[in-house]
Structure 1
Amino acid sequence: MFIDSDELFYEELTLEPDDDYPYFIIAKRYWTSVPEGEEQTTLVCLHSTSFHKETWEPTLSRIFKSSTCSGFLGSKIRDAWVIDCPNHGRSAVLNSTLLQLPQHAGSFTCDKYARAVYRFLHSKHFDVKERHRQNLVGLGHSLGGVAMIILQSPLLPSVVFRELIIIEPMISPLGQESLQPLRTRLVKASQRRPDTWPDRAIAQQSLAKTNGILWDPRVLEVYVKYALKVDENSTATESTSVSLCCTKFEEAAMYQDVDGPIAPVKDLDEICTRLPIHIIFGQLNDFIPKSVQDSIVDPSSPRRFESISYIPGVGHLVPQQAPDALAEKICALLEGKYDRALTGRQEHDRRSKL
């Protein structure tokens, strides 16, 4: 299909369950009309809890149009793949019956998202073995950032990326207690939020006044289109009632994944020694405490990031609030427009004074 406003093409691909794996996994591939070449870069993008793969669409649209990325190493981005966590987005719709069974309900974790991504990347749709290692770049926001780290851990035969760009990863070197207040807050917020609306138009009006008030309008638009599903008792028209694809129960259960933010820290310590990792934070600490973010980039820790960046004026939801600024930052990182290591420390010191 063709997104005419952005001159961007996409196709949706579904990996069906088999005897070894029970869930549907849906992904999208985005590309432009520029001829493909072997040296072009492929992006793999993972989303945050309660969102969906298309959350990345406004950011990717800007990346593909950016003159910076167009000149990246003399070539353009070849394509970008976005992959649903199976209890989110359209994947959750296909998995809805399974997710209601006791053995599956509320069982998803950061690790299970990583394993779903691993399965898709090794499927016929993507076939990671056929792609050049030097051309594969991983991007992940929050939950997606943690899943990207796990993909490089000893738990899985690693998918080898050229580099990773992780945005506001939900990890903490300070232990579980450091994130417990945030976990409690997020669970309560998920339980309180509306999850059903008479139709998509009313849903968009409601969300624009609450959750989406700080979101980029394009992000709100794709959220209403892809994060909501037509209720089972409605006919498939735009005037029917809609509800969240990722149910409040599934969202809350993922926030209670106590090992997800902690176990991958050791993996990150090791990965930093062999893979360039860029980390991006929102300047405002509205979700992850500043003490936790400081501990992630602590120069005395084993972690050595390729670069550390801050997007001004936004908090945890960087792709939702500032997709264009995030895209420009990603393009700069891909083109190597940063000072390695030292810039990260300088930006960290500058951020600590804000």
Structure 2
Amino acid sequence: MVVESFLLDPAPEYPVSITAKRYCEEHFASNANNPAALTLVLLHSTSFHKETWEPTLSDLFTLLRKGGDNAPAIREAWVIECPNHGVSGQINKDRLMAEGFRDFSCFRYAEAAHRFLTTSSSWTGPQNDIRKRNLVGIGHSLGANAMLILQHLEPSLVFSKLIIIEPMLTAAGPLALEPLRHHLVTRARKRIKLWDSREAVRTAYNNPQRRAAKWDMRVTNLFMEYALHWNGEHQKYELSCTPEQEVAMYLDPDGSTKPVEDLNLICHRLPVHLVLGKTPDFVPREVHEALFDSRSGRRFASITWMDAGHLIPQEIPTKLSAVIYDALGGNPSSRL
């Protein structure tokens, strides 16, 4: 897998840096002149980082190789990082104290993705104008919500389909997720801020009593590398997405409801594939089911229930890659 890193500098209209990575394989070059070839755009969940998608992408690319001429044509995949997470959180540490960015939100993540995608031709050349590609949006949790918001931002970006994984959405009003919000905020505020070593973090996260013990080992390794950074002042490691920033994301008053309005429109305009976890360890099942209630008028190209909890990309990236592969091929079956 070929990986390239990109950094978009701050601008007056968006005064924080935006980082992204481009993933492809050498044989994807043969699709460069194919207008139907897909460019994937991926957004991640709260408290993670852009590299958390690497195991899923690696396994997806393996499926594409095995599929040969019958596989969907892919040009590349872009993963855009939420600016207060991962490497971006470290780069933007001081800028995130500015008014309007101290309380980061789902909308701000969508804005970051929009700015990155709509300015791509200015820093990669007109031949790499991502806006002109056949775009497929893939988002998990926070990233799913931000992907939905992205659909109405101007100037508009045209996506051919969306794959929405465990969205933090409630069609029944904000109170339906209030217990979850309280739990997530309480947990984030109790996080250990400083660690003596990455191995100390690994040992803690591998505790069988923690959800992180279920993660794919590749995801855990990437978390240790990209979700932590060295704090020279304290001579310890700290989380790149600070507990304060994580709490701000969870307290976003509109983050779980406003994207439903976008979904109501989008699902009639393009195929939306919904991927959910069977284990209701975060979002209650009835909240998920309200999204595809027949009385809502919403429709989905497919609905897939997977044997996992909320953190599907972290727990079962290989199985998720197969679901994404099916959705990209255009003929997935509903797995209710």
User: What is the TM-score when the length of structure 1 is the normalising length?
Assistant: 0.87
* Cα drift, residue 71 of structure 1: 3.9
Residue 112 of structure 1 is matched in structure 2 by: 108
The runs of 5 or more residues in structure 1 that have no matched partner are 1-7, 235-239, 349-354
1:157 match: 155
Is the CA contact 1:170–1:261 (under 8 Å) kept in the aligned structure 2? yes
**Residue in 2 that maps onto 1:265:** 260
1:30 counterpart letter in structure 2: Y
Q: Is the Cα–Cα contact under 8 Å of residues 19 and 80 in structure 2 kept in the other structure?
A: yes
2:18 is the alignment partner of 1:25: yes
Residue of structure 1 in register with 2:193 after alignment: 195
User: Is residue 2:322 matched to residue 1:328?
Assistant: yes
One-letter amino acid of the counterpart of residue 31, structure 1: C
Q: How does 1:220-259 map to 2 (within 5 A)?
A: 220-233=220-233, 241-259=236-254
2:278 corresponds to 1:283: yes
**Deviations for 1:91-123, whole angstroms, at most 9, x for unmatched residues?**
11111011234x245321111100110000012
* Aligned mates of 1:72, 1:175 — CA distance in 2: 46
Provide the secondary structure at the position in 2 that maps to 1:242.
strand
Q: Give structure 2 stretches of 5+ with no counterpart.
A: none
Q: Measure, in 1, the Cα distance between the counterparts of 2:134 and 2:69.
A: 12
Output the amino acid matched with 1:178.
A
CA, structure 1 residues 75+267, in 2 after alignment: closer, same or farther (shift >3 Å)?
closer
Partners of 2:108 and 2:250 in 1: how far apart? 14
- CA distance in 2 between counterparts of 1:20 and 1:51 reads 25
The offset of 1:200, in angstroms, is 1.4
Partner of 1:351: none
Aligned to 2:168: 170
C-alpha displacement at 1:241, in angstroms? 2.3
Preserved contact between residue 142 and residue 168 of structure 2 (Cα < 8 Å): yes
- After superposition, the C-alpha distances for 1:158-211 in whole angstroms (9 at most, x for unaligned) are 211110000001111100100000000000011112232111122222222134
Distance, in Å, in 2 between the alignment partners of 1:130 and 1:243 is: 36
Deviates more, 1:179-188 or 1:26-35: 26-35
1:72·1:334 contact (CA, 8 Å) conserved in 2?
no
TM-score by length of 2: 0.92
Return the letter of the residue paired with 1:82: V
The residue type equivalent to 1:130 in the other structure is: D
CA distance in 1, matches of 2:21, 2:115: 15
Query: Partner residue of 1:53?
Result: 50
Q: Is the 2:72–2:329 contact (alpha carbons within 8 Å) kept by the matching residues of 1?
A: no
Report the equivalent of 1:237: none
2:298 partner amino acid: R
Q: Residue deviations 1:46-84, cap 9 Å, x none?
A: 000111100100000000111477447655422111011
Cα separation, partners in 2 of 1:198 and 1:104, compared to 1, 3 Å: farther
SS state at 2:108 partner:
helix
SS of residue paired to 1:96? coil
- Give 1:283 shift: 1.0
User: In the aligned structure 1, how far is the partner of 2:292 from the partner of 2:66?
Assistant: 27
Q: Which amino acid aligns with 1:318?
A: I
For residue 168 of structure 2, give the secondary structure of its aligned residue in structure 1: coil
State the distance in 2 between where 1:89 and 1:50 align: 8
Is the Cα contact below 8 Å between 2:8 and 2:17 reproduced in 1?
Answer: yes
CA separation in 1, counterparts of 2:259 and 2:297? 13
Report the AA paired with residue 20 of structure 1: E
- Aligned-CA RMSD value: 2.0
Equivalents in 1 of 2:66, 2:46: separation in Å?
28
Q: Describe the superposition over 1:110-148 as per-residue Cα deviations: whole angstroms up to 9, x where unpaired.
A: 111001100000123567983476721110000000111
> What amino acid is the match of 2:49?
H
Distance 1:73 1:156, change over 3 A: farther
Distance 1:327 1:250 in 2: 30
CA 1:157–1:73: 2 relative to 1, 3 Å? farther
Cα pair 1:64 1:70 within 8 Å, conserved: no
Query: Contact 1:15–1:25 (CA<8 Å) still a contact in 2?
Result: yes
Aligned residues: 327
Distance (Å, rounded) in 2 between the aligned partners of 1:233 and 1:132:
42
Name the residue aligned to 1:147.
Answer: 146
1:310 aligns with 2:305: yes
Equivalents in 2 of 1:246, 1:100: separation in Å? 13
What is the aligned counterpart of 2:183 among 169, 182, 185? 185
